[in-house]
Amino acid sequence: MCGIVGYTGSKQAAPILLDGLERLEYRGYDSAGLAVRNGDALAEVVKATGKLYHLADKTDQGRSLPGTCGIGHTRWATHGDPSLVNAHPHVSGNCSGSGSGQVESDVVGVHNGIIENFTELKEKLLRHGYAFYSDTDTEVVVKLVDYYYKKYKIGPVDAITRTMVRVRGSYALALMFKDYPGEIFAARKDSPLIIGTAEDASFLASDVPAILKYTRQVYYIDNLQVARIAPSSVKFYDLNGDEVTLPLTEITWDAAAAERGGFEHFMLKEIHEQPQAARDTLNSLIRDGKIDLTSAGLTDDTLRSFEQIDIVACGSAWHVGMASQYVIEDLTQLPVRVELASEFRYRHLPIRKDTLVIVISQSGETADSLAALRVAKERGAMTLAVVNVVGSTIAREADHVLYTLAGPEIAVATTKAYSAQLVAMDALAVQMAYVLGTISNEQYGHFIEELGAIPDKIRRVLEDKERLQWFSSKIANAHDIFFIGRGLDYAISLEGSLKMKEISYIHSEAYAAGELKHGTISLIEHNTLVIGVLTQSELFEKTISNMVECKSRGAYLMGVTTNGNFTVEDSVNFTVYIPKTDEHFVSSLAVVPLQLLGYYTSVNRGLDVDKPRNLAKSVTVE
């Protein structure tokens, strides 16, 4: 959730840290803080509540903080309310923790994650004379490091590894020690952390965009490892304190991809980047008119070995799984089960050895999805990760990896990563069907042709955005919105509803249209907006019938359908048309107007589109 940055080198640290935090603010924006050291001087800590610009103003854009080594943090509150005293960085000394200025503490640190046994550890430290000023688990872990550092008179690496053995939960830690000027020490377990290197400078961050402006050379620190970071060197250690070697990875993203590029919001920019994200992903999988999954390690023999598919994900990625379930089952005739990762990890589901468990995650660091992946592997299933971030934890731990090529996604509400995941899963479904012999050569060629046409058809949907902008102004004051559909249209409705509620704060729900009469229709009132997705020809008339039932009870209707279904206009108040495509792949097109509707409604309500309240981009805590 939270965002961490660090820098040590020859330049002033604070402006670099603020720049990195700005690029990570999508990870948390309850409060922010910096700790900077100027040579042997004590660390100077500055914190501010609210969004990052408060901290920037407080430090004159970082210019008022001298020093060339520092750490920074932007917070998404877990333990303790958003407040100055709970803001990071935290210190090992017994100070108030709420003000700005130099601190006498031996250890200063920032943290992303959750320390599950922090109450037990806090009680231990209280018995040893430590006092606490905040309600956070982070203060506990910083003081535990300080305790081992002093009790055993050991170095920072050994003090950190002793702490890691005692701590339960997830964490990415960045720490500075008074006795080690110019150095930063870091550790991680299940929360993302990368280390970047450049000439005479080193960086650390929760995510690549924070440091992409300064370097493309990064290390992905592994689980239960410690890093010692100096301006001209980076060393890694395991839990035993033994030095280990990690590969250096070059980031290939275009740095401009992490900028707004003239768009008012990242979300709008990323909506418009969907044709390219889908095209790049498909081009990585389709070669010479055939789908090639060998880059994911999936040979034809491997694909033939599966008798069942389990798809595990959270949020929008789960909605991708729901859409993929219909497509895979229809094309391959294999049973598909879609599970929320947060439920899958705690259920004792029978998993056969011939089951493929597909874990979908944009970041590749989603806590529940990572835990579900590990459960699946423990039970003997083959695992496939569909992720967007090379080198992420889920990508490293899965048996096979299918990378989407959406590039960096900054807005909290996902759009282009969702679309890239959809086309990747559709390509997987087609190839599995072809290998299993459930589709003919002719159908195989047709499906590949239809997949290849998706990017251009998404672009054509985007050309109709002005009508959606106008319509959103009419419904911006709605209190309730219902999205309905059947089959694949229901899966599309789930994502449309999520987009609306997470950025406009309007209560919205998605329902399988046939379920309306089993309770939900009692909620329909005069002018309640009901949005029907109508792309499946076999189910078209039934969904229209359900919408008309809502209209007779006062609902205002919007329909999303394919070109040619002009009879929809006889039943609904506002119609959006999308280009015709094979009905298996229509999700990639039908979701776009729903994304735009959510976006424009949020704008019309005067809300912060890219940073919706209480949400963070990458959910790395349970």
- The CA distance from 37 to 45, in Å, is 9
Question: 3-class DSSP state for residue 217?
Answer: strand
- The CA distance from 437 to 544, in Å, is 35
Question: 3-class DSSP state for residue 528?
Answer: coil
- The CA distance from 31 to 16, in Å, is 18
Which residues have a Cβ under 8 Å from the Cβ of 576 and sit 6 or more positions away?
464, 467, 468, 558, 559, 560, 561, 593
Tokens representing residue 92 in the block? 């090992």
Query: How many angstroms separate the Cα of 537 from the Cα of each of 177, 487, 488, 494, 500?
Result: 65, 11, 11, 19, 26
Neighbours of 241 (CB within 10 A): 14
Radius of gyration of the chain (CA): 25
DSSP class per residue in 153-211: T--HHHHHHHHHHH--EEEEEEEEETTSTT-EEEEEEBS--EEEEETTEEEEESSGGGT
Q: Please check whether residue 160 is in contact with residue 173, taking contact to mean a CB–CB distance below 8 angstroms.
A: yes
- The CA distance from 163 to 189, in Å, is 12
- The CA distance from 498 to 531, in Å, is 13
Burial of 606: CB neighbours in 10 Å, binned 0-12, 13-18, 19+? exposed
Burial of 334: CB neighbours in 10 Å, binned 0-12, 13-18, 19+? middle
Q: Please check whether residue 410 is in contact with residue 270, taking contact to mean a CB–CB distance below 8 angstroms.
A: yes
Q: Please check whether residue 384 is in contact with residue 298, taking contact to mean a CB–CB distance below 8 angstroms.
A: yes
Is 617 known to be catalytic? yes
Q: Please identify which of the residues 58, 189, 499, 617 carries the catalytic annotation.
A: 617
Q: Please identify which of the residues 2, 69, 314, 550 carries the catalytic annotation.
A: 2
Query: How many angstroms separate the Cα of 389 from the Cα of each of 316, 429, 557, 585, 609?
Result: 16, 22, 39, 24, 23
Is 2 known to be catalytic? yes
- The CA distance from 15 to 66, in Å, is 10
Comparing C-alpha atoms, which of 353, 344, 354 is closest to residue 317? 344
Tokens representing residue 320 in the block? 């991708």
Q: State the DSSP H helix or E strand holding residue 481, giving kind and residue range, or none if neither.
A: strand 480-485
Q: Which residues are catalytic?
A: 2, 617
